[in-house]
Amino acid sequence: MATNYWLIKSEPETYSIDLFEKEKTTAWTGVRNYQARNFLKQMNKNDLALFYHSGKERAIVGISKCVKTFYPEPIPGDETTWVQVDFSFIKKLKHPVSLLNLKQKKEFENLLFLKQSRLSVSPVSEKQYFEILKMAEES
DNA sequence: GCCAACGTTGGC
DNA sequence: GCCAACGTTGGC
């Protein structure tokens, strides 16, 4: 199965990369947006996801891997609408890649996340993914 | 703290 | 089915 690339977003106060690092694996729950949910459903095992901190930090801070494809997230009164996937922690970026940094580069013009900052799960192209990794090494 | 963008809800 | 009102999120 081809690897797809994603960006997942979290408020560090709610779920931070540090906690993720400690837990190693986490169920990605709480997505209550249909567009984001549909992206979750498209995720394959071993897909890679950039981990972004919203709020004060506004930077991509790490990388995670999908280790379990979508399964229902039952909530009271609605057992079937929402889904979760499992991610495992891969690593923190050496240098976080800030939102400002992304906005300055032409390569990210069509990055869905920049257009819809509220979307908690969004696709990233392979090229963009590796460009971000490169930026994390450099600066 | 404000505002823009987006989603949801409810009245018609 | 439309649209106004409202709530939430996140960047600035």
The CA angle A55-A41-A112, to the nearest 5 degrees, is: 45
- Distance of A33 CA from C2 C1′ (whole Å): 22
Q: Please state, in angstroms and rounded to a whole number, the distance separating the CA atoms of residues A101 and A49.
A: 18
Given 3-state DSSP classes, what are the helix, strand and coil percentages for chain A, each rounded to the nearest 5? 30, 35, 30
Q: What is the 3-state secondary structure (H, E, C) of A16-84?
A: CHHHHHHHCEEEECCCCCHHHHHHHHHCCCCCEEEEEECCCCCEEEEEEEEEEEEEECCECCECCCCEE
pTM for the model: 0.94
Which residue lies nearest C8, CA-to-C1' measured?
A: A118
- Terminal alpha carbon distance of chain A: 33
| Chain mean pLDDT for chain A | 94
Query: Shortest CA–C1' contact from A116: which nucleotide?
Result: B5
pLDDT digits (tens, 9 = 90+) for A11-69: 999 999 999 999 999 999 999 999 999 999 999 999 999 999 999 999 999 999 999 99
pLDDT band at A139 (very low <50, low <70, confident <90, very high): low
Residue indicated by tokens 């869905």: A112
CB < 7 A from strand B, the residues are A 32-35, 115-116, 118
